[in-house]
Amino acid sequence: MRRKLAAGNWKMNGTLASLGEVQALSRSHTAPKVDILLCPPTPLIWPMASARDGDQVMVGAQDCHANTSGAHTGDVSAAMVKEAGATAVILGHSERRTDHGETSELVENKVNAVWKQDLLAVICLGETLKEREDGDTLAVVGEQLAASTPEGANGENTVIAYEPVWAIGTGLVPTLDQIAEVHDFLRAELTARFGETTANDIRLLYGGSVKASNAAEIFAVSNVDGALVGGASLKADDFSPIVTALEASV
């Protein structure tokens, strides 16, 4: 049985003054029935890991370099974020793919680097509005899944997050049938590649304008094992009801 996951991506938000939010979240979920992960900006990984009230909330990174070290000004390695307290890394987010020109091949290399440090890779996939309107959603996410995910993926080292680009931070949300179509497709693709047992262990998250008011209905969709949440993860009062909704779906 896959243990469900509520993951928060703080993106380029948060300061030291924001760390009270992770403490409040920990106090609200003292014995969570699901995994909880927060991924702050890199400078906050160590302070957040140190500020937690218990270990109910895992801390992750939002990216890392594919190399272990070298002349890569401004970058950090998987080993560095692990040493700072991260246990997971978000990779291939659409904002990285768009703003930094990251290809699926580069994401695959980063996943391998993360695995070498025994960290969890959260691999992001998603189509643009034009790709959705052109009927290319499954082709796009299928290509991203195949090219971004190395051999050796399993439920211990990999989470797949489907985030339609047009729904991130816009308030727009696909229909429940559209979410189910993509998640069922991803499960089938994983099964065809890795076999049923391994595929059934890999968690599939939905992301894109998830909030307390729509979380329960999204979590009721087939093959949705949790969420990757953006803005609503910045405040415990906003994220905690999402965690609660996920716990209720267990």
SS3 string, 128-143, reads CHHHHHCCCHHHHHHH
Q: Is the pLDDT of residue 5 over 90?
A: yes
Mean pLDDT of the chain: 97
Q: Is the pLDDT of residue 14 over 90?
A: yes
Look up the pTM and report it. Answer: 0.97
Q: What is the pLDDT of residues 195-232, one digit of tens each?
A: 999 999 999 999 999 999 999 999 999 999 999 999 99
The superfamily CATH assigns to domain 5-248 is Aldolase class I (3.20.20.70)
Active site residue 183: no
Lowest mean pLDDT among 51-55, 78-82, 133-137: 51-55
Active site residue 163: yes
**Residue-level length of the chain:** 250
Look up residue 219 and give its amino acid: F
Question: Which residue(s) pair with 229 in the sheet?
Answer: 8
Per the listing, tokens 């267990």 go with 250
Catalytic residue among 21, 163, 183, 189: 163
Catalytic residue among 93, 95, 127, 183: 93
Q: What is the pLDDT of residues 140-156, one digit of tens each?
A: 999 999 999 999 999 99
